[in-house]
Structure 1
Amino acid sequence: MDVSGDEIADAVLTQFDSWEKKRKPMNRADNVKEWVPLSGIVLHDAKTGTLKCVAAATGMKCLPQKLIPRAQGVTLHDWHAEIFAIRSFNRFILEECQVLVTSDKKSSEYVRRRDELEKSETHAQPFALNDGVNIYMYCSEAPCGDASMELTMAAQEDATPWAKAESSLTEKPILHGRGYFSNLGVTRRKPSRPDAPPTLSKSCTDKIALKQSTSLLSSITSLMVSPENIYIHSLVLPHSQLSTVAVERAFSPSGRLKELDGREWDSGYRFSPFRVLGTTREFSYSRRQNDAKELVPSNISSLWTPYGAETIIGGTMQGRKQFDVRGASKVCKRRLWKLAAEISSAAESTEWGTYLLKDKYLNLKDGDMLAQRRKVKEDVRKVMGGWIRNEGGEDFALDGVES
């Protein structure tokens, strides 16, 4: 049974409507309203027809490059809604695995233990997504970067590009935000105000494009769960935010990723392009609220999974100081690492447990068990071009946080 864009959007929007007021943008005095992007992950069980939102998030900010070394696996680097929702989905998947190992069940509604016959030396993760489950992603705004360039141009009174590229346009440079927006099909950094500290965080378009090859799993989750069928089936955007030309160029095998068409790697990785569906639904806190005197960005970000919710400001849980370990979000690197280590311990997996207890996160990322995933990322980044690594702040140990 096929699923429509409206059904996917409804699943995420209905979930957002149930959130507490404190996790939503505010309506200020004098009819000034806040806006924020919303994104969510919806799972569809093709056998039963069940449709369920399992992760949703709002947000529109990221950490400046100069502050990355201070993050130390505690403060989030990027909490744009799309990336925040993907991180929340990873948390959901790991928590499903935790339920299995603590209850000794073989399968939950969405995650199962893998049989020994399924495993190989290079593809030995103990868990997998259940067969027949399709993954849908909803975004209330066009992802920043290449998939939104036509919309950016259409919104200008003067369509003259804002600034020239920082390097030769023949070398696939990385461009700042919406700078030189007539240069299409290139890797871009997150957009920001001209006076804001620069970031090397890649646009949501570029990060989602990469996920078509690495799967939606993060490095930590991919150590525990097979990436084989954890790819986006369809991306859903409001019709007002959907430029067919832009999304085909940004994501499809006929666009900038054509060199990856049909590509497969070891360990369950492959290039898996998604469909893009439109929806008539509009998010009530989008940039297209037409009943406000003025719209201003919200500085509050929130995440939700069936296992809990959080409010985030500055990459840290609301009420805590930025970079304070006590403010570590449940989707930060350190807490995801801690959770995966606990799952491995409960499962009495000696090989995985030893690997997950490396002394530093950097050594875990550079270890043998993630070599194939690094290969996939390197190959895709080479095709996309202009991908400057946002490095630093990964020399932390697994301590100081709860899972």
Structure 2
Amino acid sequence: MSELSSTVALPSRIASLVHAHFDALPTRSKPTIFPDGSREWIPMTGIVAVKSENTSSESLHCITVTSGAKCLSASQVPRCRGLVLHDCHAEILAIRAFNYWLLTECHGLMTEERLENPKPSPSPIIRRRESPNGCNDTPASSIDWPPFEIQPDVKLYMYCTCAPCGDGSMELCMASQDDATPWEVVRETNHTPEAQEGPALVEDNLLDGRAHFSLLGVVRRKPARTDAESTRSKSCSDKLALKQVSSLLSWQTSRLVAPTENAYLAGLVLPEDEISHVACERAFGANGRMKALGGQFWPSDTPGRIGYQFRPFQIMSVPAEEIEALWKFAKPKYITPEATDSGVAPKKSKPGNVSAVWTLAASHSHKCAVLSDTGSKQLPALFRSKTGLYESIIGGVKQGNKASSPLPRGASALSRSKLWALMSIIIESEGRVQGSQNAKEQPVDATAEALPEICPLGNTQKAATYQDLKQSRDKVSGPHQPREEAIRDAREVLKGWIRNTGDEDWGLDVLVDPKKRKR
């Protein structure tokens, strides 16, 4: 929890809190500083929950801190088998880490209930959603929304050390180029049916991260070198824009946490010199490329406190001099040789290849097989905050493992397979809380080899493969159908959205150690 003076502007307090946590990370999780004084650069992101904002009891809670600038090429994705992270840009890791934290927070609270703890301490961030007849202001609804919700007095903010790649930073990208000539786009011809969704744009191709500066307000790939193999990972601007409709909740956490206004980002905090107001309004604003979604609700007949809608976040700035004092791993601004005294261009700085992942510990921690290797023993606390998860990621897997031949031990807790397994365990626990008088006597079976067969909140555990799971998500009814409809409509408005397919043909048995499987 932050102890910074409330007289300091909120964006500055959020930035300082995130930087204090990153600074406390071990050296192995940070960019390299070379003997000649040069250093790698890396984008860094944190998600901060502000409780009771603008009151005497206001408190800031740093939930996640992540860094990263890499993503996988399209050809690497089919080899991942749910064990490798596709997108390790800091903003995307932060969102995945936040959802991981929410799952552990739900798991802790439900386990306390299952153990019949007479006075479990409440979570400062989430709570059990009360019935329409309770004391909160939830209107009556025909939809049985998930059991938890973000506390009504909590607002979520994302801080980034640089503007998100893609449409929200195109003007900054153009201004930083020595030669602003747009890159030539190499067109692909083998498109899947999913690629044809939405309005046609430039032969239905996803634009490269820095190509076609004249085309604005469109979906782009993650930026990369001109000689690098292309990726299908969408830019951070595009993914953040989609989150303005679907909320910060992933499909896993949306099974457990209701989409109230508090589940959406309230603000995006950036250094002032990383903000193009024109680009941000176009990419994220109420009158920008998402304008057509304004006033829509999912489900359409239940506008109210719970439900999906387009909720633009604020763009908040931190003075450049503050960031300069706080952040030594910023990407160097382009300097021409003529601008230096020697006339020789400085050594070119490269992005670091290590991504750091840290999350706050859950309010109540309980043993669970999927939560057994969290890195909290290596790093019990960070800047007076208890660690829930600590990982160093290279190439989409935990440091010391190979992405080319992924194994369960190398899978990040944020990987598709680990999050699916964790959600399955939590949902079974929720079923026991709701449906068993002897829940206290029933252990939670958390092994990957014997995952639960009962799924009170959806058929997510019965799916044989991740592909089956995705197809079941598209067909679900109840509280999950509005989310899928909201995402579908948002993708149609975001011009040129192409799905990143190829990593779906695997089941939860990928989490079983191959050596144990042979016995």
The answer to whether TM tops 0.5 is yes
Residue 69 of structure 1 aligns to a residue in which SS?
A: helix
* Cα displacement (A) at 1:227: 1.9
Question: TM-score, structure 2 length as denominator?
Answer: 0.73
2:483 is the alignment partner of 1:376: no
* Residue 187 (structure 1) aligns with: 219
Matched, 1:286 2:330: yes
Picking from 133, 155, 159, the partner of 2:176 is 155
Query: How much does 1:157 deviate?
Result: 2.5
Q: 1:121 to 1:69 in 2, by over 3 A?
A: farther
Aligned ranges for residues 349-364 of structure 1 at < 5 Å? Answer: 351-352=455-456, 355-359=459-463, 360-364=465-469
Unaligned stretches of 5+ in structure 2? 1-5, 114-119, 133-137, 189-199, 300-305, 336-345, 361-387, 435-453, 513-519
Task: Determine the structure 2 residue equivalent to 1:202.
Answer: 234
Secondary structure, aligned partner of 1:30 = coil
- State the one-letter code of the partner of 1:66: S
**Structure-1 separation of matches of 2:254 and 2:502:** 21
| Contact 2:110/2:429 (8 A) holds in 1 | yes
User: Which of the two has higher C-alpha Rg?
Assistant: 2
Aligned-partner Cα distance in 2 for 1:394–1:320:
21
- State the partner residue of 1:273: 312
Q: Measure, in 1, the Cα distance between the counterparts of 2:9 and 2:105.
A: 24
Find the aligned partners of 2:72 and 2:179 in 1 and give their Cα distance. Answer: 30
CA distance in 1, matches of 2:329, 2:307: 38
Q: 1:388 to 1:109 in 2, by over 3 A?
A: same
- Deviations, residues 130-165 of structure 1 (Å, cap 9, x unaligned): 111000001111100011111111112233323258
> Aligned letter for 1:325?
P
Aligned equivalent of 1:131: 152
Most deviating of 164-173 and 124-133: 164-173
In structure 2, the residue matched to 1:321 is 402
Within the alignment, does 1:304 sit opposite 2:358 as a pair?
yes
Q: Could you list the per-position Cα deviations for residues 169-203 of structure 1 after superposition, in whole angstroms to 9, with x for gaps in the alignment?
A: 67885311111122211110111111212111100
- 1:127–1:309 Cα change, 3 Å: same
Query: Equivalent residue of 1:259, what SS?
Result: helix
Deviation at 1:366, TM superposition (A): 2.4
Q: Give 1:52's aligned amino acid.
A: H
Q: Distance in 2 between matches of 1:238 and 1:213?
A: 25
Separation in structure 1 between the aligned mates of residue 398 and residue 466 of structure 2, nearest angstrom: 22
Once the two structures are TM-superposed, the CA of residue 356 in structure 1 deviates from its matched residue by 2.9
- Correspondence 1:398 to 2:508: yes
Matches within 5 A, 1:4-403: 4-46=10-52, 48-104=57-113, 105=120, 107-117=122-132, 122-163=143-184, 166=187, 174-228=206-260, 229-266=262-299, 268-280=307-319, 281-282=322-323, 283-288=327-332, 293-306=347-360, 307-322=388-403, 323-347=406-430, 348=432, 351-352=455-456, 355-359=459-463, 360-367=465-472, 368=476, 370-401=480-511
Q: Provide the alpha-carbon RMSD of the alignment.
A: 2.4
Alignment length, in residue pairs?
A: 402
Once the two structures are superposed, residues 194-214 of structure 1 have per-residue CA deviations (whole angstroms, 9 ceiling, x without a partner) of: 121211110000000000000
Of 75-84 and 165-174, deviating more is 165-174
State the shift of 1:106 in Å: 7.8
Q: How far apart in 1 are the matches of 2:144 and 2:288?
A: 30
3-state SS of paired residue (1:184)? coil
Q: Tell me if the contact between 2:298 and 2:483 (Cα under 8 Å) persists in the aligned partners.
A: no
Q: Distance in 2 between matches of 1:171 and 1:221?
A: 35
Checking the alignment, whether the CA contact within 8 Å between 2:206 and 2:220 is kept in structure 1 is: yes
Whether contact under 8 Å (2:11, 2:317) holds in the other structure is yes
CA distance in 2, matches of 1:145, 1:65: 18
**Contact between 1:260 and 1:271, CA under 8 Å: does it hold in 2?**
yes
User: Quick check: 96-105 or 305-314, which moved more?
Assistant: 96-105
CA distance in 2: counterparts of 1:332 and 1:184, whole angstroms: 32
SS of residue paired to 1:112: strand
**Would the aligned equivalents of 1:84 and 1:303 in 2 still touch at CA under 8 Å?**
yes
Query: What is the one-letter code of the residue matched to 2:391?
Result: E
Helix, strand or coil at the partner of 2:419: helix
C-alpha change, 1:7 and 1:122, in structure 2 (3 Å) is same
The C-alpha deviation readout for 1:261-283, integer Å capped at 9, x for no partner, is 12211271111100101112322
What SS class does the counterpart of residue 69 from structure 2 fall into?
Answer: coil
Instruction: Quote the residue 2:449 is aligned against.
Output: none
Given that 1:32 and 1:296 are in contact with CA atoms closer than 8 Å, whether structure 2 keeps it comes out as no
Q: Do the aligned residues in 1 keep the contact of 2:45 with 2:91 (CA within 8 Å)?
A: yes
- TM-score for the superposition, normalised by structure 1: 0.93
> 2:185, 2:208 within 8 Å by CA — same for their partners in 1?
no
Match for 2:399: what amino acid?
A: Q
- Aligned-partner Cα distance in 2 for 1:107–1:356: 28
Q: C-alpha distance in 1, partners of 2:204/2:287?
A: 18
The letter for the 2-side match of 1:199 is T
Instruction: Give the letter for the 2:460 counterpart.
Output: L
